[in-house]
Structure 1
Amino acid sequence: MRKQRSVKQYKIGAVCRFPSQTGTPDEGKKIFSLNDITWRIFRIMAEFVEGFELLSTTKKEISIYGSTRAKQGSPPYEEARKLGRLLGKAGYTVITGGGPGIMEAGNRGAYEAGAESIGLNIQLPKEQRTNPYITKSHGFHYFFSRKVMLAASAQAYVFCHGGVGTLDEFLEILTLIQTKKMQRVPVICLGKEFWLPIVDGIFKKHLYDKYKTISPEDLALITVVDSAQEAFAIIRRTKERTIF
């Protein structure tokens, strides 16, 4: 007869352990009191309240994502800027992460068109500067609350050239729509040279054709275009978002 293992009972104590942002596994442990954690929760709540208050003042929002490293004059930067300008002239609000690169380009185009240009920045150890083409902005401490605000009200998402952060945001939006946690709206990938190897190579050939881990319906959520004008034409056919 197998000896039954005893189950240890744990109580919630006065402290909880969380890994710090730096240091080795042995060194990098801080102890936070429950009071500290409570204040963090209040801070998170405040970020959501303030973020939604900001979004309540805007309309016809389009979120543009992309790399901080895109330089002025480069094709990705100028195409995002052109799209921002097209959207601004048509009365849309452009929302970005508020930083440099593609984010700056999208905001800049909208700003030059005299439209609402929103920047939702993030506080980082190495400060990400807020670009100068913003009419309204809000800074976030937590990535997840910022990501919710970037996603919450957009009637289309445009993904330009980007790195790990952009791909993270791209996959999260796809997952939320795929699982019906979010209203289906266009997910537009701008720049065929960058996006086709990812969408056709990884999503279609690898995940769908070879491993069958996604469906044709999942692939249909993504639209790859090569110009700001093509992206704008898709957006013009959308309706203003009513629910998250």
Structure 2
Amino acid sequence: MRHKFKGPVIQRRDQVDGSTTDQRLLDSRGPSDWVHTDPWRVLRIQAEFVEGFGALAELGPAIGVFGSARTPLDHPSYAQGEELGRRLVDAGFAVMTGGGPGAMEAANKGASEAGGLSVGLGIELPFESGLNEWVDIGVNFRYFFARKTMFVKYAQGFVVLPGGLGTLDELFEALTLVQTQKVTRFPVVLLGVDYWSGLLAWLRDTVLADGKISTADLDMMVLTDDLDEAVDLMVRAREERAS
């Protein structure tokens, strides 16, 4: 039987190709379609994890701040994000955002101007132009799941400013990981009572009432307008973790 081994893969019958891996690597005259294949994507994914881990390994205590990229400079949420960034730095935290404009930029700006570490984890999108100018350490990702891993691995808590689908995705990703015990429990603060109350009411009156979540799931989130309360929750969680 005609067969061929390619590393751990065996090819038989009409699946046997006529060249070797080394040959295709060294033959620059061959087609370039290989850069779009799944095996090559695996290496890119691996590289994103390596770069992310390397850049953030010595970050120290950090808080992830989520919020809308569409928040205007003159919006109250922008000013709130700036002040949040400053207060988190004063409490001894690095501030980690998605690195984009709007609420993310506000938190990065507040952290940077306060002399703290301002981190941005960017994502390749068709409608955003890279990391904001207030990011001190920035890592750009191709893949959302690699980026999300960095947030969950290196943040000790999350503060969520008003936002849209991306913000909701990050919020529920974090809650799901805690609920399923994939990560150690950490505080999640929703900043903006008027903005988030409707969501929490729907979760309580519809989702909880229909038995789809438990009361403990709702208890994972704290709703407030008080920046002092938000920062104090992060500080207490850090102290409990250290004890």
Structure 1 window deviating more from structure 2 (127-136 vs 32-41): it is 32-41
Shift of 1:141: 0.7
Contact 1:111 1:133 in 2 (8 A): yes
Contact 1:189 1:224 in 2 (8 A): yes
- State the match for 1:168 in structure 2: 169
- State the match for 2:203 in structure 1: 203
In the alignment, the residues of structure 2 paired with residue 193 and residue 217 of structure 1 have an alpha-carbon distance, to the nearest angstrom, of 23
Distance 1:241 1:68, change over 3 A: farther
Q: Name whichever structure is richer in helix by fraction.
A: 2
- State the match for 2:28 in structure 1: none
Give secondary structure in 1 for the equivalent of 2:229.
helix
- State the match for 1:79 in structure 2: 80
Distance 1:203 1:150, change over 3 A: same
Query: Percent of aligned pairs with the same residue?
Result: 41
Shift of 1:240: 7.1
Contact 1:155 1:240 in 2 (8 A): no
Corresponding position: 1:38 with 2:47: no
- State the match for 1:126 in structure 2: 127
- State the match for 1:116 in structure 2: 117
Extract unaligned runs of 5+ from structure 2.
1-11, 16-32
Structure 1 window deviating more from structure 2 (32-41 vs 135-144): it is 32-41
**What is the letter of the counterpart of residue 195 of structure 1?**
W
- State the match for 1:184 in structure 2: 185
Q: How does 1:1-244 map to 2 (within 5 A)?
A: 36-199=37-200, 201-209=201-209, 211-239=210-238
Give secondary structure in 2 for the equivalent of 1:70.
coil
- C-alpha root-mean-square deviation of aligned residues, in Å? 2.1
Contact 1:154 1:241 in 2 (8 A): no
Shift of 1:225: 0.9
In the alignment, the residues of structure 2 paired with residue 65 and residue 215 of structure 1 have an alpha-carbon distance, to the nearest angstrom, of 24
Give secondary structure in 1 for the equivalent of 2:162.
coil
Contact 2:63 2:94 in 1 (8 A): yes
Shift of 1:194: 0.7
Shift of 1:125: 2.4
Extract unaligned runs of 5+ from structure 1.
1-10, 15-31
Contact 1:60 1:240 in 2 (8 A): no
Cα-to-partner distance string for 1:14-67 (whole Å, 9 max, x where unaligned): 8xxxxxxxxxxxxxxxxx769821110000001011101111121111000010
Cα-to-partner distance string for 1:53-95 (whole Å, 9 max, x where unaligned): 1111211110000100111231111111111000112221000
Taking structure 2 as the reference length, the TM-score comes to 0.82
Shift of 1:126: 2.8
In the alignment, the residues of structure 2 paired with residue 102 and residue 170 of structure 1 have an alpha-carbon distance, to the nearest angstrom, of 15
Number of equivalenced pairs: 212
Taking structure 1 as the reference length, the TM-score comes to 0.82
Runs of 4 or more off by more than 2 Å in structure 1?
Answer: 32-35, 125-129
Distance 1:33 1:97, change over 3 A: same
**What is the letter of the counterpart of residue 136 of structure 1?**
I
- State the match for 2:26 in structure 1: none
- State the match for 1:25 in structure 2: none
Give secondary structure in 2 for the equivalent of 1:202.
helix
In the alignment, the residues of structure 1 paired with residue 215 and residue 42 of structure 2 have an alpha-carbon distance, to the nearest angstrom, of 40
In the alignment, the residues of structure 1 paired with residue 211 and residue 114 of structure 2 have an alpha-carbon distance, to the nearest angstrom, of 45
